[in-house]
Structure 1
Amino acid sequence: MKNPYYRVWLAICFATLMSVQGYAQNKETASRLATYFSPGTTDVISPDDDGFIRRWLLLEPIDKPNRSNTVFTDSYIRKTFTTEYFPGQFTVLPKNGDKVKVGKQELTWHALDSKLFNVKLFRFASSLQKQIYGVLFWAVTVINCPEDIPNVRISVGSNSASMWWLNGEEVVILSGDCRMVKDDCLSKRLTLKKGKNIIRGAVINGPGMSDFCIRLLDEKGAPVKNITISYK
């Protein structure tokens, strides 16, 4: 009969090996992400110098196969984006590390600050070794206003198609095989309310380098900067 302590020793060795391997994988993932993102903090941040919003909660990509982006008509993307893939999709404010089930996928929310004005979803997915083509991304952020700000437009660019909501109301839709261009599409004039405002978005792509950029423009077309951005 084998010494029982031998089995304990083997179990400890195996657990240690798995722990070291997991640490190495997490460190490698963080290193890949670091080129384009930094981990989110509990502090609020401001828009960048050009008004772009860089702080986002990003959900790992949902599998949504499309061999071509030519199918992204208004009717197709509206149906796709208004389909509920997980509970609370249009209402819950997620936290870093929260997980959701979409079919057989278990996906995690990540609180990140983009190092560029455009949020590189392709790099986000590839850094996590997730699917990069035929994908649907969800993004959420919180805009904090010291007072009501009227006549604001939400300005969006995305690759490829996308749809965006402010406080639960659809405000912008970009259809077709889009390339990411600053200020590609503007919402109607809106009012940011005093306090917390939630921007929620969905970006879909078949083949291609998924990304997006968003900023808020005032009635004169200048970037809105008297706001802060947070995760809650």
Structure 2
Amino acid sequence: MVPGAYTARVLDTGVDAGRPYLAMELLDGRPLDVHLREQGPIRAAEALRALALALAVALSGVHRLGLVHRDLKPANIMLTTAGPRPLDFGIAAIVDGTRLTATGGGPGTLTYMALEQFGEERVGPAADVWAWACCVVCAAHGASPFTATNTGGVIRRIVETGPEPAALAAVQALDPALAAVVARALAIDPAQRPADGTALLAALAAARSTGQDPAAVHDQITRGWQTLAL
């Protein structure tokens, strides 16, 4: 269902000899977490903004379909020559609350989870916006802004103390306008964040006084992505 712009396309599904299968397009490149481990944080402002924009475009397509990814994280973002591609919609949920996972399935990865994912309330697109911000910070800093030495420390950061200042400073040093949108996306109250991927794109455009024309956004992503050594 998810459109192909900056997402990995599903080419076929079915059952063969009683075994379900899923065929996706073959992507070059490597996941963001591997890139960070081998080459360190992204230090080019244009590349970081291209990553942020492409992920926002992908989320916009996901959210327009009434889906929530719920597990956006560096391990699920492929850095390809054509741009970043979010993967793994295995724990996605329909926005109306219908789960696409078995009862009791994990709701996400702790250091990229918004506060509302800890409870029983409905998780909407704003949770993906939070995860988007965590991924952008991780790309510039090397780790999630909520990383801690243990699970309790992570939860304390998310619920009480807030993101690591040095992590946010890494984005601020590269792109202050992007850092301002990231700060909004990490608001504890989901209502204070950009509501979904489309609102996120609008916030990114407003922060830099640029247009939202899809062709112009695609061109900006392409030019910025060329500054990243893969």
TM-score over 0.5 for the pair: no
* TM-score of the superposed pair, with normalisation by structure 1: 0.28
Which structure is richer in relative contact order (CA contacts within 8 A, separation 6 or more)?
A: 1
**Higher helix share goes to which structure?**
2
**Higher strand share goes to which structure?**
1
